[in-house]
């Protein structure tokens, strides 16, 4: 018996096979990625339902390719071809992405990336695995084509016969001529079996819980189409009630006290009250950008506030703003004294801060700033090498000791590599930067900090503006008004408040600030140029500015080292110019430099020696990514030394505060089965260094589970307390510092206050899919899914500091149950609170950012 139905000429069997192979391969990979998160028994029970749509897609493709006549046939063929091409592209990307990162590809994220030039280049960097997988799967389709055509054909043949009586439509597309008549009995038997199987599967399908199985059974190309649907959302107007209501009850409210504006969450100041409250005595005649919420006017006809600037929700006068008095999560530590050693130093000598440099360090994990022999990472490296004898270990240690000597000096944390003699250590680091500060001096090193977002630019907004970024995908922040003034906006206000005609002779306190942003890589990615303007930088220099022949320091042989741009030193002459210009013209600088070499793919300039920090044996690619990363870490360590050297050479070191902060960490296969920051909640993406360096401040190690949200208030606190501002500016700064959510790292950190914990929310790349939830008051951590496509994950960092053994569950209550069993009542209680607070926080961010779509 020949299958009559799918007897297509030429291409058709191949095309059908492509649809079947790619659809099923996609589903199998998808299920494989979720294998850890569902119980084996449920998985087996629901297994057939996962493939239901894939099967239907295959059948429909087969019918469409069958002998439809005329234009209908051509249309069917065209549609199937189109889906086939889409499938090949999508499924190969899915496999390529999995191969590179271990994560699931997100189509909406990919489409946003592809629409941006630098992002497109990032996608292109994954081209090799893409082609490898498409070739593999196409070959498989070619080989399986006859078999698949035969199986589907015979199946439809048997059932098709039976269908004839039921549907006219089927009759049209299933020509039944020259078909030997089968016995009726067999025909009905086949139909009954198929129908019964179908009903059973549909039955299980109905009973199947929606989460996670709906996500798990998503079928290409439907999942792809869903990504392009826009959600409608409107602005949230009122703050939602804080879920832990006893912690914000009126008996806990705090009255105004001096500069402190009080704390009364849930109270309802009338619009006119807050309008007048918000006009501080130091208000300038006209507000510079960034102070939108002080620019509101009261409309008495409507009894509402109107925004004078900024982006408001469409369709109304709604304009939400931040108010520290009403923020149930805000804990201030400004009532505590400045850390004692800092006070002593300030009594003893002047600590001028004329300039502030903020070095935002790309993918800077805390455990490589600096690398230390006591770290988990170091132990992993040693274990991988299995050094045979003392000599090997010694040799390895001397290589590792030369990786981050500058970070050791910046933080004051020693690597402790046990190198037998100081002489060797000095030899190893002979050509690196040497800290000239007096013994015991150097500034504040923060241990225990986490980033506010594992998406670089969201993190940048957090560290420059003291805000929580918005938990939605990509940079809505660029279209919106930042809900707090960024540090650059404040400096601009200082400039504006200075009377014209004051000259340099009266010292730095009367000089004007200039804010400059510098990086050697592109500003086109994610519209960073616009973000820089939005955050208030007066001048920004990117790859695009230095790559033209008319650029001041353009030279032959400028080489791009990754898909983002040039090696770091290309920015050096511009940095030098900026400092020299400021020196010559009596300007105070706020300068941000964003490092870049430590970004994937960790390309190094030609000629830079590549060390084998990890052994080369085993699989060709084992440890390859991490090894490249560590080499780029060494390279950037040296570069930071050069920047510090320049600051000394230009004579500004003793009057410059340098803030080092990591934008986020970076997970590798050595840390977790999913690598990179994309939709990966692992802790190795979150621990970052924060250092506030000043050669005249005492060397301090501060233990605080803060986030980079604390950077702005800490800078203000330092400017105020080192007496680096004139009276007017100091007054303004002392008032403004009370507006920020983050605590100052210049004072003892409050882990909790009146039962309220100091929560640390971390938005996970790309923003709207999952949230990292931690608290300074507890060692636990929750990764909260914001869509139905991800599991909840819990860890107890006191027992498992590197999250090698995460508890994951699709169902929150089942996770709480497991946590209670394994970690006790307190942990389970914390988890329940964390989930509620985090969901509240997500909505509150959307409200504060006046978030809306479309």
Ligand X SMILES: *[C@@H]1O[C@H](CO)[C@@H](O)[C@H](O)[C@H]1NC(C)=O
- Which residues contact ligand X (rule: CB under 6 A)? 299, 301-302, 306, 421, 423-424, 427, 438, 447-448, 450, 523, 529, 539-542, 544-545, 651, 653-654, 687, 695, 703, 705, 774, 797, 801
**Which residue's Cβ lies closest to ligand X?**
448
Question: Closest CB to ligand X among 453 and 738?
Answer: 453
Question: Closest CB to ligand X among 203 and 651?
Answer: 651
Structure letter (DSSP) for residue 614:
S
Question: Closest CB to ligand X among 174 and 774?
Answer: 774
Calpha distance 553→782 (Å, rounded): 48
Distance (Å) of CA 416 to CA 406, 654, 702: 14, 28, 20
Residue showing tokens 């296969």: 669
CB of 775 to ligand X, least distance (A): 9
CB of 90 to ligand X, least distance (A): 33
Structure tokens at 444: 């504040």
Q: Which helix (H) or strand (E) holds 659?
A: strand 656-662
CB of 423 to ligand X, least distance (A): 4
Distance (Å) of CA 803 to CA 375, 626, 793: 14, 18, 10
Calpha distance 428→367 (Å, rounded): 20
CB of 415 to ligand X, least distance (A): 17
CB of 537 to ligand X, least distance (A): 10
Question: Closest CB to ligand X among 113 and 647?
Answer: 647
Calpha distance 756→328 (Å, rounded): 9
CB of 684 to ligand X, least distance (A): 10
For CA atoms 368, 370, 371, 377, the dihedral sign is negative
Which residues are CB-contacts of 351 (< 8 A; sequence separation ≥ 6)? 345, 694, 696, 697, 722
Question: Closest CB to ligand X among 466 and 523?
Answer: 523
380 by Cβ neighbours in 10 Å (0-12 / 13-18 / 19+) ranks as middle
Calpha distance 620→82 (Å, rounded): 38
Calpha distance 151→166 (Å, rounded): 23
721 by Cβ neighbours in 10 Å (0-12 / 13-18 / 19+) ranks as buried
By three-state DSSP, how is residue 259 classified? coil
HEC sequence for 756-814? EECEEEEECCCCCCEEEEEECCEEEEEEEECCCCCCEEEEECCCCCCCCCCEEECCHHH
Question: Closest CB to ligand X among 220 and 778?
Answer: 778
Question: Closest CB to ligand X among 343 and 545?
Answer: 545
Q: What is the DSSP string of 14-30?
A: HHHHHHHHHHHHHHHHH
Question: Closest CB to ligand X among 389 and 423?
Answer: 423
CB of 327 to ligand X, least distance (A): 22
Question: Closest CB to ligand X among 111 and 270?
Answer: 270
Structure tokens at 33: 């990625």
Which residues are CB-contacts of 521 (< 8 A; sequence separation ≥ 6)? 542, 543, 562, 564, 565, 566, 594, 596, 599
Question: Closest CB to ligand X among 22 and 525?
Answer: 525
Which residues are CB-contacts of 576 (< 8 A; sequence separation ≥ 6)? 646, 650
Q: By the 8 A CB rule, do 316 and 725 touch?
A: no
CB of 213 to ligand X, least distance (A): 32
Structure tokens at 451: 């980033």
Question: Closest CB to ligand X among 508 and 797?
Answer: 797
CB of 705 to ligand X, least distance (A): 4
Q: By the 8 A CB rule, do 46 and 207 touch?
A: no
CB of 447 to ligand X, least distance (A): 5
CB of 489 to ligand X, least distance (A): 18
Q: What is the DSSP string of 37-55?
A: TS-HHHHHHHHHHHTHHHH
CA proximity to 580, closest of 355, 359, 361, 410 = 355
Question: Closest CB to ligand X among 257 and 548?
Answer: 548
Bridge pairing between strands 512-518 and 587-594: parallel
Question: Closest CB to ligand X among 392 and 577?
Answer: 577
CB of 334 to ligand X, least distance (A): 21
CB of 575 to ligand X, least distance (A): 13
Calpha distance 3→180 (Å, rounded): 11
Which residues are CB-contacts of 821 (< 8 A; sequence separation ≥ 6)? none
CB of 766 to ligand X, least distance (A): 22
CB of 84 to ligand X, least distance (A): 41
CB of 134 to ligand X, least distance (A): 35
CB of 817 to ligand X, least distance (A): 24
Question: Closest CB to ligand X among 515 and 705?
Answer: 705
Distance (Å) of CA 72 to CA 59, 266, 297, 644: 17, 64, 64, 72
Question: Closest CB to ligand X among 540 and 743?
Answer: 540
Calpha distance 49→38 (Å, rounded): 15
Question: Closest CB to ligand X among 27 and 687?
Answer: 687
Q: What is the DSSP string of 367-406?
A: GGTT--TTSHHHHHHHHHH--SSHHHHHHHHHHHHTTSHH
Question: Closest CB to ligand X among 299 and 416?
Answer: 299
CB of 307 to ligand X, least distance (A): 10
Calpha distance 387→541 (Å, rounded): 46
Question: Closest CB to ligand X among 13 and 698?
Answer: 698
Q: Where are the alpha helices (DSSP H) in 650-762?
A: 711-721, 727-736
């Amino acid at each position: 018996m020949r299958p009559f139905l799918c007897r297509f000429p030429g291409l058709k069997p191949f095309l059908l096979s492509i649809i079947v192979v790619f659809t099923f391969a996609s589903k199998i990979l998808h299920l494989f990625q979720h294998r850890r998160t569902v119980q084996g028994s449920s998985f087996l029970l629901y297994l057939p339902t996962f493939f239901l749509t894939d099967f239907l897609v295959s059948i429909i493709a087969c019918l469409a390719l069958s002998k439809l006549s005329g234009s209908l046939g051509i249309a069917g063929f065209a549609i199937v071809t189109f889906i086939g091409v889409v499938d090949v592209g999508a499924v190969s990307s899915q496999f390529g992405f999995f191969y590179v990162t271990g994560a699931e590809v997100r189509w909406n994220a990919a489409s946003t990336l592809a629409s941006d030039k630098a992002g497109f280049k990032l996608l292109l960097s994954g081209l090799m695995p893409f082609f490898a997988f498409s070739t593999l799967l196409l070959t498989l389709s070619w080989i399986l084509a006859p078999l698949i055509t035969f199986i589907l054909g015979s199946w439809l043949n048997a059932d098709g016969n039976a269908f004839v009586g039921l549907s006219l439509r089927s009759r049209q597309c299933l020509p039944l001529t020259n078909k030997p008549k089968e016995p009726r009995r067999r025909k009905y038997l086949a139909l009954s079996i198929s129908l019964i199987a179908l009903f059973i599967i549909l039955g299980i399908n109905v009973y199947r819980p929606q989460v996670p199985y709906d996500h798990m059974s998503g079928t290409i190309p439907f999942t792809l189409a869903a990504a392009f649907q826009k959600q409608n959302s409107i602005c949230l107007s009122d703050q939602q009630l804080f879920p832990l209501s006893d912690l914000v009850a009126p008996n806990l409210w705090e009255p105004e006290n001096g500069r402190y504006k009080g704390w009364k969450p849930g109270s309802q100041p009338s619009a006119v009250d807050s309008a007048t409250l918000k006009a501080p005595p130091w208000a300038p005649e006209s507000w510079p950008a960034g102070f939108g919420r002080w620019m509101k006017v009261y409309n008495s006809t409507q009894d509402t506030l109107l925004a004078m600037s900024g982006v408001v929700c469409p369709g109304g006068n709604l304009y939400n703003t931040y108010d520290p008095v009403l923020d149930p999560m805000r804990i201030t530590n400004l009532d505590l004294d400045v850390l004692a050693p800092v006070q002593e130093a300030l009594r003893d000598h002047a600590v001028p801060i004329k300039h502030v440099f903020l070095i935002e360090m790309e993918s800077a994990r805390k455990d490589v700033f600096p690398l230390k022999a006591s770290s988990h990472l170091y132990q992993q490296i040693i274990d991988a090498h299995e050094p045979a004898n003392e000599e090997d270990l010694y040799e390895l240690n001397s290589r590792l000791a030369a990786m981050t000597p500058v970070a050791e000096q910046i933080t004051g944390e020693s690597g402790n590599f046990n190198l037998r003699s100081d002489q060797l250590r000095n030899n190893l680091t002979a050509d690196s930067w040497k800290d000239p500060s007096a013994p015991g001096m150097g500034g504040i090193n923060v241990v225990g900090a986490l980033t506010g977002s594992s998406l670089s630019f969201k993190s940048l907004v957090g560290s420059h503006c003291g805000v929580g970024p918005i938990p939605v995908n990509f940079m809505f922040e660029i279209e919106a008004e930042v809900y707090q003034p960024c540090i650059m906006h404040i400096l601009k206000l200082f400039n504006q408040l200075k009377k014209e005609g004051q000259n340099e002779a009266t010292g730095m306190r009367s000089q004007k600030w200039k804010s400059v942003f510098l990086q050697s890589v592109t500003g086109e990615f994610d519209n960073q140029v616009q973000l820089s303007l939005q955050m208030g930088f007066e001048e920004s220099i990117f790859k695009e500015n230095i790559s033209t022949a008319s650029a001041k320091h353009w030279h032959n042989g400028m080489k791009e080292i990754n898909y983002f741009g040039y090696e770091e030193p290309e920015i050096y002459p511009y940095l030098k110019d900026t400092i020299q210009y400021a020196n010559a013209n009596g300007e105070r600088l706020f300068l941000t430099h964003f490092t870049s070499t430590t970004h994937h793919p960790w390309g190094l300039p030609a000629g830079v020696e590549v060390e084998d920090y990890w052994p080369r044996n085993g699989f060709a690619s084992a440890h390859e990514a991490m090894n490249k990363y560590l080499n780029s870490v060494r390279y950037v360590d040296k570069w930071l030394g050069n920047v510090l050297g320049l600051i000394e050479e230009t004579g500004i070191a003793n009057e410059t505060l340098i803030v080092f902060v990591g934008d986020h960490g970076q997970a590798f296969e050595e840390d977790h089965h999913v690598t990179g920051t994309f939709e990966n909640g692992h802790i190795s993406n979150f621990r970052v260094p924060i250092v506030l360096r000043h050669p005249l401040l005492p060397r301090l190690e501060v233990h605080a589970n803060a986030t980079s949200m604390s950077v702005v208030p800490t800078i203000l606190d330092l400017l105020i307390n080192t007496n680096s501002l004139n009276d007017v500016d100091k007054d303004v700064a002392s008032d403004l510092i009370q507006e920020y959510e983050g605590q100052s790292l210049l004072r003892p950190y409050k882990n909790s206050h009146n039962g309220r914990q100091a929560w640390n929310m971390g938005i996970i790349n790309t923003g709207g899919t999952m949230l990292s939830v931690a608290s300074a008051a507890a060692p636990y951590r929750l990764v909260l899914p914001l869509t139905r496509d991800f599991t909840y994950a819990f860890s107890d960092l006191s027992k498992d500091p590197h999250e090698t053994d995460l508890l994951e569950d699709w169902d929150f209550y089942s996770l709480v149950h497991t946590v209670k069993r394994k970690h006790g009542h307190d942990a389970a209680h914390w988890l329940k609170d964390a989930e509620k607070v985090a969901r509240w926080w997500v909505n509150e961010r959307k409200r504060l950012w006046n978030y809306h779509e479309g």
